[in-house]
Structure 1
Amino acid sequence: MKVSIIIPFYNCPYVDQAINSALNQSYKNIEVILVDDGSTQYVEKIKPYLNRIKYLKKANGGTASALNHGIRHATGQYFAWLSSDDIFLKDKVERQLAFMNRTGALISYTAFTKIDANNNVINHIHYGQMNRADFMEQLLRGCPINGCTVMIDINLLNKVGMFDVNYKYSQDYEMWCRMLLHTHIYYYNEPLTLYRVHNAMGSVKYRSRMSREEELVKYRYNKYFQVYKHKYK
């Protein structure tokens, strides 16, 4: 089973580290798709890898549009999202795919490790297991899912639709809410992604805008979850 690793890239100085971690996976049936979302800086860091990745260039449109563009060109049965400032551990794909095959999961997320700008470990983030109804209640409070820990069956994406480009900063949060209406989101309690925390990251620069969008997502899905969560209690 092929896994498509999609890396949205916009002026990120860490992009070479992300590409390296994707190409060096222990699971070899992969394709790495880098979507250049109109970058004007650090493009030279991509050049050494052009013969080993799919390189797609587009006008700047934001993370959701970059992910969607990559997904449309993906040929894998599964999709994994890697931000250009994050790093996959070497066995990330292998272990998570095995977990999904064991459980029958169509979508899963994992624990992760926070690192700083110099790759120093800050801490490890773990979550508890939740049933589907409890997950709905959690998502109405906030999103526990780190998007770069997620792996998704492409058939599920085809069913629920692409990332909503109307959400510039919370496209992942909206997607997980939408997917939970169709299937359970499984949790694998192993930290398989290094999540970089730095001053230039979007969740720091656009925190207030992200918070406003998150409130819109909660309002949008509250009515659906109130109906569905009792069914899956």
Structure 2
Amino acid sequence: MDNSKFIKGLVSIIMPSWNTEKYIGEAIQSVINQIYTNWELIIVDDCSTDNTEKIVSKFNDKRIKFFKNEKNLGAALSRNKALREAKGEWIAFLDSDDVRCKDKLEKQISFMEKNGYILSYTEYEKIDEKSKSFNITVTGPEHVDKKKIYRYDYIGQLTMIYNANKFGVIQIDDISKNNDYAIRLKLYNTIPDTKAYLLKQKLAKYRVRKVSISHDKFIKKFKSHYNLFHICDKKNSIISLLYACRNMFYGVFKKIKYEN
């Protein structure tokens, strides 16, 4: 593995975007406001048809790198593209409708360097479409090993940071849903004894956007979990079905135990 391209101390923040003109300005500003200044923000826009690109262009900061797909690729391949462009020792993620607290990078990088961790995550709160808090904090286990990550994805994408020198350039298969979860599975399969350690502080804000609740949605969610294990993780049909069932069960367990 050639790790010569990774720049020590640099945090590469991966941000796919698609039609988020309402939110992307706030997301970018939350990165610019970071106390930890050694970062690059890699935005890959997936053929937005709104004013996303225009809003991004208003930010005059050389640390922001904007790429636009020639055709719509979806979130998975857009993240892959951003990950190939990343030059940082540390890889972080922020969707274009989420927000991070100004001390997130400073506290989390310090937490990882002090303890020698190569993968970590933090707590986060849920906000609505107008950035108003639901007063719900999402936390998780003190550490997540491979066994736990296969039960359920306890790690919030917007809070995760990993060491690129250890894991290399992560690339995932093209699935429309659960592609963030697929990144986690790839990390754990790259280094099976990996543990993600929780920094028990609320350092990010996850935006909940209005969705309909229906039987059809439940079926789609189950299918997305099945595809995750069958397509991305190369499990056979029976194992994928069992893993998807277990995943749905632990999803309920997570809400009860780790959201309050």
Specify if TM > 0.5: yes
Question: Structure 2 unaligned runs (5+)?
Answer: 1-8, 244-260
Number of residue pairs the alignment of both structures matches: 216
1:78/1:38 Cα in 2 relative to 1: closer, same or farther (>3 Å)? same
1:29/1:140 Cα in 2 relative to 1: closer, same or farther (>3 Å)? closer
Q: 1:4 aligns with which of 9, 12, 16?
A: 12
2:150 maps to a residue whose letter is L
2:223 alignment counterpart: 212
Question: Structure 1 unaligned runs (5+)?
Answer: 226-233
Q: 2:162 aligns with which of 152, 155, 159?
A: 152
Is 2:104 aligned against 1:96? no
1:76 alignment counterpart: 88
1:163 alignment counterpart: 171
Alpha-carbon offset, residue 144 of structure 1: 1.4
Alpha-carbon offset, residue 42 of structure 1: 2.4
Identity of aligned residues (%): 29
1:200/1:154 Cα in 2 relative to 1: closer, same or farther (>3 Å)? farther
Q: 2:140 aligns with which of 103, 127, 147?
A: 127
1:144 maps to a residue whose letter is Y
Contact 2:27–2:99, Cα closer than 8 Å, also in 1: yes
- Partner secondary structure for residue 213 of structure 1: helix
Q: 1 CA distance for matches of 2:105 and 2:87? A: 16
Contact 1:173–1:214, Cα closer than 8 Å, also in 2: no
1:190 maps to a residue whose letter is Q
Is 2:39 aligned against 1:30? yes
- Partner secondary structure for residue 31 of structure 1: strand
Contact 2:144–2:154, Cα closer than 8 Å, also in 1: no
- Partner secondary structure for residue 46 of structure 1: helix
Q: 1:199 aligns with which of 203, 210, 222?
A: 210
Q: 2 CA distance for matches of 1:62 and 1:217? A: 15
Alpha-carbon offset, residue 117 of structure 1: 0.8
Question: What is the RMSD computed on CA atoms of the aligned residues?
Answer: 2.5
Contact 1:170–1:210, Cα closer than 8 Å, also in 2: no
1:165/1:200 Cα in 2 relative to 1: closer, same or farther (>3 Å)? farther
Q: 2 CA distance for matches of 1:40 and 1:143? A: 31
- Partner secondary structure for residue 188 of structure 1: strand
Q: 2 CA distance for matches of 1:120 and 1:33? A: 27
Is 2:119 aligned against 1:111? no
- Partner secondary structure for residue 19 of structure 1: helix
Is 2:28 aligned against 1:16? no
Contact 1:163–1:172, Cα closer than 8 Å, also in 2: no
Contact 2:80–2:170, Cα closer than 8 Å, also in 1: yes
- Partner secondary structure for residue 204 of structure 2: strand
What TM-score does the superposition give when structure 1 sets the normalisation length? 0.83
